[in-house]
Structure 1
Amino acid sequence: METSTEDAAEETRGPARPAATVTDHADAAAETTAVAADTTATAASPAPVAIRPPTSLSPSRAGDFMQCPLLYRFRVIDRLPEKPSEAATRGTLVHAVLERLFDAPAAERTAPRAKALVPGQWDRLRESRPEVEELFADDPEGERLARWLTEAERLVERWFTLEDPSRLEPAEREMFVEAELDSGLRLRGIIDRVDVAPTGEVRIVDYKTGKAPRPQYAEGALFQMKFYALVVWRLRKVVPRRLQLVYLGSGDVLTYDPVVADLERVERKLLALWDAIRLATETGDWRPRPTKLCGWCDHQAHCPEFGGTPPPYPLPVRAADPGGAEQGRMGPE
């Protein structure tokens, strides 16, 4: 599940999330692992880091390519820096609180205890990601920070109206998953929570700190969950009984019970998507796809749609197929 944990404003109500916050907080951790595996030099090395073609796919990176192939390139190939956002950072904070709460005995998993975890988890987040400090650099009196933390507490408190953590004993929290398909494609990500019933039935749960999408966009919201269900199915040979999205921003719970046919469709979609990514990687043909989401993108200075120039392409290229690649048209089913 790779940065944005929170959907700023109305972003979850549309077909895709703004570029600046599309990465899920858990997917960010998964991508860190991927980057470490896909580089051949360390930061301490005086030589430039060797950029290698992508070798795996997470839900967020798949979403990036479907939203805009050039955005995928900027994040995965060029690894351009992005500024932290208040919305995504608050989502990361809330996720950390909900995970840590399960360290307490069931009877002590209360709303006041969860809210009390917020300041400490914020301190830990600042230590692990010092760049978030810049979010409130222009707030010397701490008033905006106080409101931001209060909103995080409100989201944590709302969770207790949607689920009862005293009745839950997760089998896994922040579970890193990785599976290699028969095609050789590696899928990876981090699942917020996995519940396993005494009968062996598996439920995959994901927390969203934004608002639930409109019904016509529900399928897009479930893409990430079906991605995780596919990975779990390939790893454990068990189709999850239920996929559950908990929207703390609006107080909604979206559920879906997948079947094998669902996961087979997702696998076919991912294989087609990966073929398009490989073609773009080999040819260097990463086409921008302008949408209203461009307004949230950190990379306008490098985007031709805004008069910018992408960095020099760091990978070898071959001639594009004159028949035309359809990678620029890849989108949700």
Structure 2
Amino acid sequence: MAKRVQSPSSIKLYHQCPRKYFYQYIRQLETLPNIHQIRGNIAHSVLEKFFDIPLQDLTLDNFKQRLTTVLQELLFQEWAAAKPKLKNLDISSDQNQFYFEETLLMLFNWLEHFSNELLSQKGSFEERFRLLTPAREKFYLSKVFNVRGYIDAVEKFNDQIRIMDYKTSSSFNLGDHRLQLAIYALLYQELHGELPDFAGIYFLKDKPKFIKVDKQLLEFARKEIELIHQKTESDNMTDYPKRPSGLCKYSTGQCEFFGVCQKED
């Protein structure tokens, strides 16, 4: 059987619960979006479109206030575009407003870090902005390792290459994302023939964090990818054991496969 094409999210899901991996990627049961996924997609879209804004009226003196307004307007647009999906969620108007305002604060927090980075560069505002503009939402597919992924931002400045991901979660432990970043680094190295210097996460509720990319990190990715290929060769449910945890059922919800999982051994 041909190896399944994996991704950082599919591998993470397998580690979380092999049975959940089976339901989602092999049986391909329907999953419904939740507010955290939709909000995350909205924030990603805002940050992707942010770098396409007109720059002619922006200067080093006025850019902070202007970019704050830009982010707010982009969020309004993206939130409105997602209204049909948001309507399908079981959340109140107050909850919807809460998540909107929380997302706006995340974007303002990211802007503070971006502004500081911009001020540390040389040249006109436009020159600095262009320098910090990343390649965005880049798709990578390795036929060697049968793994794929989208890198949110590839940054090249200060004689360094950084591959970055945006996270809207409330957990800021970079170690939880080491495998994802390792796979991204491996994908980047395979396509471009060079190692990025750093891989990191923009924790939108916190601050950006980075790890140095080296050969050991790539080897970690290779081993994990090969291991997951070995463990997902089968189509038999019994080869994907349940891994009960607090993620099965919790105070605000439950796993999307909780019902079917309870009925099957």
Q: Report the TM-score when normalising by structure 2.
A: 0.82
The yes-or-no answer on 1:155 pairing with 2:106 is yes
Q: State the shift of 1:255 in Å.
A: 0.7
Q: State the shift of 1:76 in Å.
A: 0.7
> What is residue 74 of structure 1 aligned with on the other side?
23
For residues 276-328 of structure 1, what are the alpha-carbon distances to aligned partners after superposition, in whole Å with 9 as ceiling and x for unaligned? 111x336852211111221231111111xx3x128xxxxxxxxxxxxxxxxxx
The yes-or-no answer on 1:241 pairing with 2:201 is no
Q: State the shift of 1:102 in Å.
A: 0.5
SS at match of 2:132: coil
Q: Quickly say closer, same or farther: Cα 1:86–1:156, change in 2 above 3 A.
A: same
Q: Verify the 8 A CA contact 2:132 2:157 in the aligned structure 1.
A: no
SS at match of 1:196: strand
Q: Quickly say closer, same or farther: Cα 1:220–1:198, change in 2 above 3 A.
A: closer
Q: State the shift of 1:213 in Å.
A: 3.2
Q: Verify the 8 A CA contact 1:91 1:208 in the aligned structure 2.
A: yes
Q: Quickly say closer, same or farther: Cα 1:292–1:54, change in 2 above 3 A.
A: farther
How do 1:246-325 and structure 2 match up within 5 A?
246-249=202-205, 251-278=206-233, 280-281=234-235, 285-295=239-249, 296-303=254-261, 306=262, 308-309=263-264
> What is residue 197 of structure 1 aligned with on the other side?
157
Q: Quickly say closer, same or farther: Cα 1:80–1:257, change in 2 above 3 A.
A: same
> What is residue 124 of structure 2 aligned with on the other side?
none
Q: State the shift of 1:54 in Å.
A: 6.3
For residues 154-190 of structure 1, what are the alpha-carbon distances to aligned partners after superposition, in whole Å with 9 as ceiling and x for unaligned? 1111111222366453341111111122xxx311111
* Runs of 5+ unmatched residues, structure 1: 1-51, 311-333
The yes-or-no answer on 1:178 pairing with 2:127 is no
The yes-or-no answer on 1:206 pairing with 2:157 is no
SS at match of 2:150: strand
The equivalent position to 1:134 in structure 2, one of 88, 109, 112, is 88
Q: Which runs of 4+ in 1 moved over 4 A?
A: none
User: What residue identity is the alignment partner of 2:260?
Assistant: H
SS at match of 1:289: coil
> What is residue 58 of structure 1 aligned with on the other side?
7
User: What residue identity is the alignment partner of 1:61?
Assistant: S
The equivalent position to 2:187 in structure 1, one of 217, 220, 231, is 231
Q: State the shift of 1:131 in Å.
A: 3.9
User: What residue identity is the alignment partner of 1:277?
Assistant: T
> What is residue 121 of structure 2 aligned with on the other side?
none
* Runs of 5+ unmatched residues, structure 2: 119-127
Q: Verify the 8 A CA contact 1:53 1:77 in the aligned structure 2.
A: no
Q: Verify the 8 A CA contact 2:3 2:229 in the aligned structure 1.
A: no
Q: State the shift of 1:230 in Å.
A: 0.6
User: What residue identity is the alignment partner of 2:72?
Assistant: K
> What is residue 114 of structure 1 aligned with on the other side?
71
SS at match of 2:241: coil
How do 1:83-102 and structure 2 match up within 5 A?
83-102=32-51
User: What residue identity is the alignment partner of 1:206?
Assistant: D
> What is residue 169 of structure 1 aligned with on the other side?
132
SS at match of 1:154: helix
Q: State the shift of 1:64 in Å.
A: 0.8
| Matches of 2:152 and 2:80, distance apart in 1 | 21
User: What residue identity is the alignment partner of 1:194?
Assistant: V
Q: CA RMSD in A?
A: 2.4
User: What residue identity is the alignment partner of 2:103?
Assistant: A
Task: Tell me the number of residue pairs that the alignment of Structure 1 and Structure 2 aligns.
Answer: 241
SS at match of 1:254: strand
Q: Verify the 8 A CA contact 1:203 1:242 in the aligned structure 2.
A: yes
For residues 68-108 of structure 1, what are the alpha-carbon distances to aligned partners after superposition, in whole Å with 9 as ceiling and x for unaligned? 11111111112212232212211111111111110014536
User: What residue identity is the alignment partner of 1:302?
Assistant: V
Q: Verify the 8 A CA contact 1:70 1:289 in the aligned structure 2.
A: yes
User: What residue identity is the alignment partner of 2:162?
Assistant: R
